[in-house]
Chain A
Amino acid sequence: MIRQCCRWLAVALWGLFLTETAQAASPIRPTETVRRKVLPEAWFAWLLLTPAMVFIAVIIAWPLVETIRLSFTDADLGGESYVGVANYVDLMESRRFRQTVTTTFYWMFLSVGLKLILGLIGACLLNAAVPGRAVFRMLVMPPWVIPIAIGVIGWLWMYNGYFGLLSGMGQRIGLFDGPYAFLAGRTSAFYSAVVTDVWVGTPMITLFFLAAMQGVNRDLYEAAWVDGAGRWYRFRRITIPQIMPVIVSMALLSAIWTFNSFDIIFILTQGGPRGATTTLIIDTYKVAIGNFKFGEGAARAVVIVVLLATFSALYLFLLNKVNKTYGVK
């Protein structure tokens, strides 16, 4: 462990040294001359990139390659042997896996959709010229600022049938006949997890939307007002198009984060009851880490990587298109 730390420290210092050398050389006029004396320019550039490349190779590339390799094996605690595409065939044929994929997408679309809608409404309210606006803006922050685990444990208590706030309130207003454990039923557990995820994710989206709204040139609104455009018309024809690049960015980034969301579901339900909240990431964790079936888990991880890569490509494509459409340079 200590040896590992020393290695990282050495890498970091090497990067720092190279950066400092370049910075120290740059204010002096004959930068190129100084550099050429030591190394050719291309070599110097590669040298500067080395720490980052080593970092990427160790942290990202190697685990990725290793995961892909493992996905073609039946690796477990007892060893491994090559099984070809058997793991993938099993996944394609598994009804349970298809159900997991469906659950994952439903979870993602529902949660992201709600976050975007609530974020937009919240941003509009926070953008309105009302007294005490700064206080309201601060009040939005806590779900995002407090550690997720602590916030979710709070929800865990609220969902409890016996001492939970929600169950108690439901009984008081006559909604439930007796204690109602939100996380015990398949449907209620799923939607409870969605509510918690939306609670955690909405503040950040709200703040991003708010920042985008505040960046819209006020003259556009005044020009539209002079032209007779009402509040709703101005929102539809000016605000939404003007913040569209941010909406697209947040939609796709939020989709990726929600797709990958692990902590909220794991703390609330661990994927249960009876797989109702098992998303791909939870399933992968259970198979690979819970059941020590590294090969099968790796195949699931590769499926996730492919799906996320597709999202990322879609994100870049859409963002580019939206920026062109809405005149963003």
Chain B
Amino acid sequence: MATLDLHRISKSFGTAKVLHDIDLAIKDKEFVVFVGPSGCGKSTLLRIIAGLEEASSGKVVIDGADVSDAHPVDRGISMVFQSYALYPHLTVFENIAFPLRVQKLAEPDLKQRVMRAAEILQLTDKLKLKPGQLSGGQRQRVAIGRSIVRNPKVFLFDEPLSNLDAALRGDMRVELSQLHRELDATMVYVTHDQVEAMTMADRIVVLNGGRVEQFGTPMELYHHPATKFVAGFIGQPNMNLIPATVLGTDGGLTVEIDGGHRMTLPVDSSAASAGDKVEVGIRPEDVDLGDGGLSISVRVLERLGGVSITYGTIGNGETRFCASLPGDAAVREGEPLHLSVAPSDCHVFDASGRVLRRTAAPALVA
């Protein structure tokens, strides 16, 4: 398998620049997920790695070799498309065998490699069927099978689960993670679904507006989001962002949030000064019931069984706030709710959206 390095990759379509100097170093056998909202450039970046798009500038290096101008086959990559891209007129066997037929591989060898892929993906009893006779998950497996048989250096996945229903998506996430372990391969995976990113990735690249917001492990992104965008994108429900004013910087950062509540937060306050406008980030799952100074008026309550997601407003009623509480929490819509949060669980973002480093954050779990 192989390493994948991107050096200052930029891409423009006409006057629109969609990727800005992307630098990434992906390790051997790593499962890296590109995640971001629609139009952030993640698919374009993947297509540049695949050789389906040409970068306006920059280099794609696989295993130390510059492959920026190489044909996809010579790059040693294979790609699984969002639409599966299965040939409807060919059987499952022929679909999987397609890349090998292009290479004019001898029939016994071809058959052996197709059967091996089919065994890994549990498709041996479906080899004579056509794609139209398969379920969405099975089609996805055939598409993966077609990429496996080529023994590529790097696997590329372009939103492969987005056409599946929620339950099947969950199953396929587990299967893909298992497949990664089994093949021990370098994989790059594009999705807009942060749950897929968090559950499958060794490391996540969060893209926004054609720029890398942050590149790190899922827990790093969760506990130490570098920007307000990452903080809002990673985690479900989204992090609450409450406008606040800096009151002092001695022994942490003392702020007054909307609603008048004052807190001293353990963050690096060296770059802040009294009077600065900041935003305090509080994850919905980090709040508890109790009079800790946070008071919200509950507007909508979603009881999911294990947890109750509570939506309301804080302060002057303009700042929305979400809390994830125990399933049987005594909460009612329309009533005020008193909550507490540990200062060490709070994040602070300056006016430009950059984080003030937390000094008492939990230890990272790989």
Residues of A within 8 A of B90 (CB): 241
Indicate the member of A233, A241, A327 with the most B CB atoms within 10 Å. A327
Q: How far is the CA of A92 from the CA of B90 in the complex (A)?
A: 46
**How many whole Å from A217's CB to the nearest CB in chain B?**
6
Docked-complex contact B73 and A219, CB < 8 angstroms: no
Minimal Cβ-Cβ distance residue in A for B81: A219
Contact pick for A226, options B52, B82, B131, CB 8 Å: B52
Q: How far is the CA of A329 from the CA of B132 in the complex (A)?
A: 9
In the complex, A225 has a CB within 8 A of chain B: yes
Could you say which of B20-28, B98-106, B241-249, B339-347 contacts chain A? B98-106
Known: A228-B102, A228-B103. A223 touches B79 (CB 8 A): yes
Docked-complex contact A222 and B81, CB < 8 angstroms: yes
In the complex, A16 has a CB within 8 A of chain B: no
Residues of A within 8 A of B84 (CB): 219
Known: A241-B87, A241-B89, A325-B89. A227 touches B81 (CB 8 A): no
Q: How far is the CA of A222 from the CA of B147 in the complex (A)?
A: 13
Q: Which B residues, 277 to 308, have Cβ-Cβ distances below 8 Å to chain A? A: none
Q: How far is the CA of A260 from the CA of B355 in the complex (A)?
A: 79
Contact pick for B89, options A223, A225, A229, A326, CB 8 Å: A326
Interface of A is mostly: helix
**How many whole Å from B92's CB to the nearest CB in chain A?**
12
Docked-complex contact B102 and A222, CB < 8 angstroms: no
Q: How far is the CA of A220 from the CA of B84 in the complex (A)?
A: 9
Q: How far is the CA of A226 from the CA of B77 in the complex (A)?
A: 8
Q: Which B residues, 67 to 87, have Cβ-Cβ distances below 8 Å to chain A? A: 71-73, 77-79, 81-85, 87
In the complex, A242 has a CB within 8 A of chain B: yes
**How many whole Å from A325's CB to the nearest CB in chain B?**
7
Q: Mark B93-111, 1 if CB is under 8 A from A, else 0.
A: 0000011001100000000
Q: How far is the CA of A222 from the CA of B82 in the complex (A)?
A: 12
Docked-complex contact B99 and A228, CB < 8 angstroms: yes
Residues of A within 8 A of B77 (CB): 226
Contact residues on B (Cβ < 8 Å of other chain), bracket: 20 to 34
**How many whole Å from B222's CB to the nearest CB in chain A?**
33
**How many whole Å from A277's CB to the nearest CB in chain B?**
40
In the complex, A124 has a CB within 8 A of chain B: no
Q: Mark A200-235, 1 if CB is under 8 A from B, else 0.
A: 000000000000000001011011111111000100
**How many whole Å from B260's CB to the nearest CB in chain A?**
56
Residues of B within 8 A of A195 (CB): none
Docked-complex contact A229 and B102, CB < 8 angstroms: yes
In the complex, B50 has a CB within 8 A of chain A: yes
Residues of B within 8 A of A220 (CB): 85, 87
**How many whole Å from B148's CB to the nearest CB in chain A?**
12
Q: How far is the CA of A223 from the CA of B131 in the complex (A)?
A: 15
8 additional A-B pairs beyond A225-B52, A241-B87, A241-B90, beta carbons within 8 Å, are A219-B82, A220-B85, A223-B146, A224-B102, A227-B150, A237-B87, A241-B89, A242-B88
